[in-house]
Amino acid sequence: MARLEIEGLCKGWDFPVIDRMDLTVEEGEFFVVVGPSGIGKTTLLRLIAGLEVPNEGRIVLGGKDITRLPPYKRPVAMTFESYALYPHLSVFENIASPLRARRLPRAEVQQRVMDVARLLKIDQLVARRPAEISGGQKQRTALGRTLVAEPEAFLLDEPISHLDAKIRHELRAQFHTLEALRRVSNIYVTHDYAEALSLGDRIGVAGPGGLVQIGTAHEVFERPETLFVAEHMGQPSINVLDCELTSENGVLFARHLESSLALPVAQPHVERLNGGNVGRVSYGIRPQYVSVMEDGENLRGEQHVVDGTVTLFEPLGTYAILIAEAGGATITALSSPEHRYEHGESVRLVVDTAQAFFFDRDSGKNLVL
């Protein structure tokens, strides 16, 4: 039984960082907190670990209230963003540290450390010092130190953010398959939304004051409750245009306030927007739903074409970003890196208006959920 319950948690210094947060992470669940840096993600982990004292609220782990316990008496293990490896100890002793703290017999320590080291493929390195191993190996050592402890909750702070793409993907797959993580509750903190979506059984999007949306990967990406959530998921960021909803010849349009761009509102949205009687909105469309129209391409369903000129075309490894100006508005689209577009080239952009979001201008709430 290792369910983690957080009730009415408050923590702040000059201003509240976490404001009345409630959260339950089930046994075996992998819960990912994603959000920009400085928003209080690490603070949440530190509160659970006991490195910070909450101003208010309760933390219950495995049915036991641990709010007032000092960190060394809590059954939790945590990795630090900086790894926090002990520089004067070998990789072996670093991993063994939690077992030494409990004064386990020598043979058992040896056995368990080497089991973990083999699992993480660092068993060849156990005699080295942290200064003598690579970033990815440091990361595995830090992970090993937490895994060996067999705690009731794992707290992982940006464990793979600073590594090369190759190792990152390798370790990501490892998080999916590590049995040890499936027996306890896990909270994983990251600023990388793709990592969060890929790893999380559920995802909490950290915003001002706490978690602004909690849901599965599909829910937080495809059905963001607020503009904040939509803006922090996806790369490049969602296009946001300040628009006014106006009806022209019986068709509802979202008309951009700063340019002549106007996009029709897709049928299912019209109803939810109360026929357009909401006035001004923030119109959001993800770059993946804006593409360059190719010759002979037929439009489907709610797709709408706007003319534009390319201001920037950037082929990345696997996709390209195209930034175009359409009727005075700047729109970012995702396109194939294989086709080159020149600065100033005219393009026809296909906007899949059925995928648009409409956010309230004041509260940022998604109006078409």
Partner 1 sequence: MARVVLDNINKIYRSRRGNVHAVKDFSLSVEDGEFVSLLGPSGCGKSSTLRMIVGLESVTSGEIRFNDAVVNDLEPQHRNVAMAFETYALYPNFTIEENLGFPLEVRGVSKQDRKKEVRRIAGLLQIEDVLDQKPGALSGGQQQRVSLGRALIREPAAFILDEVMSHLDAHLKFQMMIELRRIHQSLGRTMVFVTHDQMEALALSDRVAVMHEGRLQQFGSRDDLYHAPNNVFVAGFIGEPPTNFFAVQPEEADGRLTLVSDDGATRFQPSDHRAATIRNRGGNSFVVGIRPQNLTRVADGLENSIAATVLLNEYSGERSILTLTSGDARLQAVTASGDDVGRGQEVDLFYDPDDVLVFDAETEDLLV
Partner 2 sequence: MSERNYRLVAILMFVFLGLWALISLFPYYFQFITGFKGIEEVNRITPTFWPDEFMWSNLDLIFSDETNVAALLDTLLIASANTALAVFLGSLAGYALARFPRQAGGENMAFWILSNRMFPPVAILLPMFRAFDTVFGSTDNHISLIILYLVFNMPLATWLMMVFFRDAPRELEEAAYLDGYSPLRAFFKITLPQVVPGMMSVALLCWIFAWNEYLFANMLVGSNVAVNTIQTPGFVQGAQKLWNLAALFSLIAVIPPVVLFLVLRRYMVRGLSLGVVKG
The residue ranges that bind partner 2 (CB under 8 A) are 49-51, 70-72, 74, 76-78, 80, 82, 84, 86-88, 97-98, 100-102, 129-131, 145, 149
Bridge partners (DSSP) of residue 7 are 58
Residue 78 binds which of partner 1, partner 2, none (CB < 5-8 A, kind-dependent): partner 2
Residue 355 binds which of partner 2, partner 1, none (CB < 5-8 A, kind-dependent): none
**Pair of tokens at residue 94:** 């670093």
Q: Is 157 helix (H, G, I), strand (E, B) or coil?
A: strand
Residues composing the chain: 369
The interface mask with partner 1, positions 60-79, x = CB under 8 A, is --------------------
Please tell me the distance from the alpha carbon of residue 186 to that of residue 65, in angstroms, as a whole number: 18
- Strand duo 202-207 + 210-215: pairing: antiparallel
Where do runs of H (alpha helix) occur along 154-206? 165-177, 193-199
Residue 132 binds which of partner 2, partner 1, none (CB < 5-8 A, kind-dependent): none
- Least CB distance to partner 1 at residue 335 (A): 13
Under the binding rule (CB under 8 A), the answer on residue 135 touching partner 1 is yes
Q: Segment near partner 1 (CB under 8 A), from 5-13, 74-82, 124-132, 163-171?
A: 163-171
**Pair of tokens at residue 262:** 């106007």
Residues 175-194 that bind partner 1 (CB under 8 A): 176-177, 191-194
Place of tokens 């706007």: 306
- Least CB distance to partner 2 at residue 3 (A): 20
Under the binding rule (CB under 8 A), the answer on residue 235 touching partner 1 is yes
Q: Are 225 and 366 in contact (CB under 8 A)?
A: yes
| Contact pick of 237, 246, 259, 355 for partner 1 (by CB under 8 A) | 237
CA atoms within 13 A on the CB side of 314: 9
- Least CB distance to partner 2 at residue 99 (A): 9
Please tell me the distance from the alpha carbon of residue 188 to that of residue 35, in angstroms, as a whole number: 12
- Least CB distance to partner 2 at residue 341 (A): 39
Q: What is the DSSP letter of 366?
A: B
The interface mask with partner 1, positions 271-310, x = CB under 8 A, is ---------------x-x----------------------
Cβ proximity to partner 1: between 172 and 304 the closer is 172
Please tell me the distance from the alpha carbon of residue 44 to that of residue 255, in angstroms, as a whole number: 41
Under the binding rule (CB under 8 A), the answer on residue 11 touching partner 1 is no
Under the binding rule (CB under 8 A), the answer on residue 105 touching partner 1 is no
Please tell me the distance from the alpha carbon of residue 149 to that of residue 128, in angstroms, as a whole number: 21
Question: Nearest CA to 291 among 345, 338, 333?
Answer: 333
Question: Nearest CA to 190 among 228, 155, 153?
Answer: 155
Binding stretches for partner 1 (CB under 8 A): 36-38, 134-135, 162, 164-166, 169, 172-173, 176-177, 191-195, 197-199, 217-218, 221, 231-237, 286, 288, 312, 314-318, 321, 323, 334, 337, 343
